[in-house]
């Protein structure tokens, strides 16, 4: 049996998870590798047997985030507004079912936003969806009449920031439920 290799992989995963928790709750810069090691009951030295450096560990998480947070591919929707409902519903559902998802989501946000993120990591993080991602759908919805008037970029931005704000809290404090997807969608819906 590959007990040895499997074991190693399992341990790597433990570290990854611990790091994710800490990076999200304290921020990358403020988490010490000893914090991480401690959380998985491992000597600090050993952690470096699994990961070359704190930064590489971060990079790996960001790469995971890049793949893991491939957002719900919109099914074919009849109306533009349905896209938003579907998108939000699925995203919230993922976050509820897999706490890790919500955390990865927040990790990515920090990696993208913070000036302190090492440049090459930031680049990776920036490959995921951006603020402009919803613009074309919003334009379509405005013609249709299902989405409110206004600069599509500004609407897209507002919607995305709202989602991020919600995810940011939910990732570290699950005491309060996520809102209904519809509520959030009302941010873009024509009244």
Choose from DNA, a copy of itself, none: what does 42 bind? Cβ within 5-8 Å by kind: DNA
- Candidate segments 36-44, 77-85, 135-143, 156-164, binder of a copy of itself by CB under 8 A: 156-164
Choose from DNA, a copy of itself, none: what does 9 bind? Cβ within 5-8 Å by kind: none
In contact, 88 and 108? CB cutoff 8 Å: no
Binding mask 44-83 for a copy of itself (x = CB under 8 A): ----------------------------------------
Beta bridge partner(s), residue 147? 189
In the chain, count H helices and then E strands.
10, 0
- DSSP class of residue 187 equals T
**Based on CB atoms, which residue is closest to DNA, 43 or 172?**
43
DSSP assignment string, 96-164: HH-HHHHHHHHHHHHHHH-TTS-HHHHHHHTTS--GGGGHHHHHHHHHHTSB-SS-HHHHHHHHHHHHH
Beta bridge partner(s), residue 189? 147
CB of 22 to DNA, least distance (A): 10
Binding mask 114-133 for a copy of itself (x = CB under 8 A): xxx--------------x--
Question: Contact residues for a copy of itself (CB under 8 A)?
Answer: 25-31, 110, 113-116, 131, 148, 150-151, 153-155, 157-158, 161-166, 168-169, 172, 176-180, 183-184, 186-189, 191
């Amino acid at each position: 049996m590959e007990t040895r290799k499997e074991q190693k992989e399992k341990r790597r995963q433990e570290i990854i998870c611990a790091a994710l928790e800490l990076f999200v709750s304290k921020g990358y810069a403020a988490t010490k590798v000893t914090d991480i090691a401690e959380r998985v009951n491992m000597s600090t030295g050993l952690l470096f047997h699994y990961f070359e450096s704190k930064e590489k560990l971060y990079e790996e998480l960001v790469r995971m985030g890049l793949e893991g947070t491939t957002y719900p591919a919109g099914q074919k929707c009849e109306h533009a507004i349905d896209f938003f409902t579907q998108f939000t519903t699925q995203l919230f559902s993922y976050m509820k079912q897999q706490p890790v998802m919500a955390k990865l989501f927040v990790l990515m946000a920090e990696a993208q936003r913070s000036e302190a993120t090492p440049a090459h990591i930031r680049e990776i993080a920036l490959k995921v969806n951006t603020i402009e991602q919803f613009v074309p759908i919003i334009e379509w919805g405005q013609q249709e009449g299902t989405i409110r008037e206004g600069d599509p970029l500004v609407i897209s931005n507002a919607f995305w920031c709202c989602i991020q704000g919600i995810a940011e809290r939910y990732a570290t404090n699950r005491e309060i439920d996520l809102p209904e997807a519809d509520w959030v969608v009302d941010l873009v819906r024509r009244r």
